[in-house]
Amino acid sequence: MHMNFLEKLYDFLMEKTDMPDFMSHGEKLHLVPLSNIEYRNKIRGTMISLAIGDAIGSHLEGQYSKEIEQISHFLKGEKTAISLNTTNITESTILFSESLIINQGFHPEDFANRLIRSPIIPIGKTMSAFVSNYRDRRMFWYESGVASAGNGAAIRCAPVALIHYGDFEGLKFVAGIQAFITHNDQMALASSILMNTALAHLLNTEPYTLDRKEEKLKFLEVCAKGIKGIETQLYPSNHSDEVANLYIRLARDLPEALEVDMGIEAFKNRWGTGAYALESIPLALYLFLKSPDDYEKILKDSLMCNRPDALSSLTLMLAGAYLGFSNIPKGYLQKLRNFEEMLTLADRLFELSLKNKSNNPYRRMLENMSEEKSKDELDQLLWLAIKCSQEKNYEEAVSHFEELTKKNPDVKKQEKIKMNIIEAYEGLGTKYLENDAFEEALKCFKKALFYDLNNPSILCNLALSYLNLDDLNRAEKYARRAVEVAPEYEIGKQVWEGIKSLSKNN
């Protein structure tokens, strides 16, 4: 992804609109692709699962729980001759995917144009208001979004993670801005970033490894860190007097629910099941985490909630990213009318993801190997420098320290290493003084002074070096400075008195 373009776009939107400053908040996460994961399989799993959740959820919406169990069992049968359509949920994801593929990256105006050109039926209130603003009132695309904390931006967001699973900064930029096009609300933006963070993390996780509670809690922690601080306000709950936001749900409520193994019904009764992002996003995550290895149970639990089309799409896209296409029960695939279309889009998104170098696990492996090798070299240089200094081989010690600070300037900030560097320069400078190499001694003491401007020993040695070079003014300056910073330093006082005496005689 063209990071320079995204940064300029973000700066433009911050200047021209009231878009929440989401890039200034949240922790920077490290997404690490793995060489043993087949990402085409994972990306296919995400796209196909989203469509399965939409198709089956919309088909069964309004059914009783007993009927849902019977019908879902009926649907998964491979011989059942039934073909299901998807709805606006899948259609908006298709439009977003097509925009990314055709433009070979994120082009927000093109995506906005596709949203008004292609009929999405049925159309929700938020999308209807956006279309009215952009198409009918001729507002700019970046001014047409409406204040809405619905889950629409999060439902269509999956393609972002599918091309940024190793690039959190790019993921965050695109996830936030794509949401802002239609949903100008902090929670809506946070929901898109949250879902993409979750999907990217699951894409980089091997199937059937998310079974321990500790791993699930770590997953929630990662997701919460990515959106921390984006929501500067609290939102009302539809089920109680409580106020909260997505970060609070992720950082406090979901971990607590997992710790006590809260039942799904209790979770729904406490925090709701509606299209409100504060309800549907945490619920989708919780349903997934309750049975991450059981695709059919995740679907069944989702179908027994309000708005099962949206919720099933959210939960199954998580399951698909985690388990992959090859682990989806085959009976469901044959029921999807646009199966081939979704599969083709998934493959094109996979190809697009390969253009993002951060997604390349082999490149990451080489970088990690280089970093480890570099760290080993730095550790060896430091060890050699300290060893030489202890053996009073100061010339070799200084050479190693200079190579070390050249390769890693940050070591200069570490106090213990600074002390060793000073000791090496002082030792070498003293050696030069003893051999009457005053110019060389001066250079060493100046380099030592760089690391500690108020070191009385270094200041005195500088004074002595200048004295031997017949520069009484500078000798007096450094001797006086040594006494000022350390009045109790006897050597400093002796040097200062001696230089003052010489100055009077001259």
- What residues are designated binding site? 90, 309
User: By the 8 A CB rule, do 155 and 280 touch?
Assistant: no
Q: What is the DSSP string of 77-146?
A: -TT----B---HHHHHHHHHHHHHHHHTS--HHHHHHHHHHS--SS--HHHHHHHIIIIIS---GGG--B
Non-local CB neighbours of 494 within 8 Å, separated by 6+ positions:
none
Burial of 121 per CB tally in 10 Å (0-12, 13-18, 19+):
exposed
Closest by alpha carbon to 204, among 445, 456, 35, 88? 35
Feature table: binding site for Mg(2+): 90, 309
Cα 449 off chain centre by = 40
Burial of 413 per CB tally in 10 Å (0-12, 13-18, 19+):
exposed
User: By the 8 A CB rule, do 30 and 358 touch?
Assistant: no
**DSSP code, position 150:** B
User: By the 8 A CB rule, do 157 and 178 touch?
Assistant: yes
* Lookup: tokens for 193: 């970033």
Q: CA-to-CA distance for 495 and 412, rounded, in angstroms?
A: 30
**DSSP code, position 336:** B
In a 3-state reduction of DSSP, which class is residue 147? Answer: coil
In a 3-state reduction of DSSP, which class is residue 33? Answer: coil
Torsion of CA 203, 205, 206, 211, to 10 degrees: -130
Cα 149 off chain centre by = 23
In a 3-state reduction of DSSP, which class is residue 32? Answer: coil
Closest by alpha carbon to 407, among 376, 429, 428, 367? 376
User: By the 8 A CB rule, do 337 and 94 touch?
Assistant: no
Beta strands in 231-300 (DSSP E): 235-236, 243-244
- What backbone phi and psi angles, to 5 degrees, belong to 142? -85, 5
User: By the 8 A CB rule, do 161 and 196 touch?
Assistant: yes
